[in-house]
Amino acid sequence: MMSIDNGSAPKWFLEALAAPVDIGRVEVRGASIAYRAWGEEDQPGIVLVHGGMAHSRWWDHVGPLLAHGRRVVALDLSGHGDSDHREIYTLETWADEVLAVAEAGSIVGKPVLVGHSMGGIVSYVASHRHGDMLDGIVILDSPIRDLTPEEQEMRAQRPVTGPKVYPSVDAAVSRFRLVPPQETAEPYVFDHIARTSLKEVDGGWSWKFDASQMGRGGRSTLDGTTAGTRVAYFRSENGIVSEALLDRMRDMFGPDATIVELPAAGHHPVFDQPLSVVTAVRTVLAAWS
């Protein structure tokens, strides 16, 4: 199920997928939260926070490249991946999950959070609520003061009667798509993430995320809030965050925030510009250290 076309994937990608990984779980507010970790234990580190309807394995080809001299932990937020589902999902609960996996995943000291899309909003909320427990946050193309594309997609859907079941892995992978749609994606990345997004169920295969409740309720406004720690914000050149929205968010980040553009990147830069993401995060971590 998890194989990819080795002939189309570059060496760095295959080596990243083959890197040693620790798998663990931690209990947070009555839910079991799954995580993956790379690098030596008991080191300073970072937590990678995925977007809506995604999961920790979106970072499989990124996490190992950031684990030089640090511990890197990627979690499945509740309702995603291999973590438990909840009746209600909130940004605040997800923020608590992020901090819990940092400790459970053997990060020493204050972690840096790296969040994409909804994961960037979760990271921002964590910084606002628990800034004294963090060393900084790196945000990838997140509309902090607006709904994410994933939230808009979930709210626009009709009530869900049950998970969509596909007869085979290949049938499901053929239906995998990004929200918002993005034509620029490395095929080997796309295939790997699509296949790791599936779970076996009665009658076939289905997506791991909880489609029954997620994104259907309201969420608390972030207007008037500020980050409680230093911020690096990376806007994708071909992403979803307009210059006008970025201007509305600047006061939330503080005057010393680092704000730059990822060239040629779509909203999902780990799909089309993964090495640019690695370079950007490495550069921020080096500057902050």
pLDDT in tens, 202-247: 999 999 999 887 665 666 779 889 999 999 999 999 999 999 999 9
pLDDT at 2 over 80: no
Tokens of 160: 């869900």
> What type of residue is 200?
E
Q: Which helix (H) or strand (E) segment is 118 a member of?
A: helix 118-130
Residue 165 inside a domain? The answer is yes
Instruction: For the sheet with 45-49, list strands across it.
Output: 22-28, 31-38, 71-75, 45-49, 112-116, 136-140, 231-238, 258-266
Q: Which domain range does residue 154 map to?
A: 11-288
d(CA 90, CA 67): 29
Do residues 61 and 16 lie in contact, with contact meaning Cβ atoms separated by under 8 Å? yes
Residue 64, phi-psi category: left (phi > 0), alpha (psi -120 to 50), beta (remainder)? alpha
The vertex-98 CA angle with 92 and 100, nearest 5°, equals 105
User: What average pLDDT does this structure show over 86-103?
Assistant: 96
d(CA 127, CA 122): 9
Q: Any idea which of 107-121, 140-154, 264-278 has the lowest mean pLDDT?
A: 140-154
Give me the number of domains the chain comprises. 1
* pLDDT tens, residue by residue, 178-201: 999 998 999 999 999 999 999 999
Domain assignment of residue 5, yes or no: no
Please state which of the ranges 2-11, 73-82, 113-122, 256-265 shows the lowest mean pLDDT. 2-11
Run of H or E residues at 231: strand 231-238
For residue 104, give every residue at least 6 positions away whose Cβ sits within 8 Å of its Cβ, in sequence order, or none.
24, 25, 26, 35
Residue 87: how many CB atoms within 10 A of its CB? 7
On whether residue 114 sits in a domain, the answer given is yes
Residues 53 and 22: beta-carbon distance below 8 Å: no
Q: Residue 240 is part of a domain; what is its CATH number?
A: 3.40.50.1820
Give 269-287 pLDDT, tens digit per residue.
999 999 999 999 999 999 9
The reply to whether 59 falls in a domain is yes
Q: Which pLDDT value is given to residue 255?
A: 94
Q: Does residue 4 sit within a domain?
A: no
Q: Which of 198, 197, 172, 204 is nearest to 55 (CA)?
A: 197
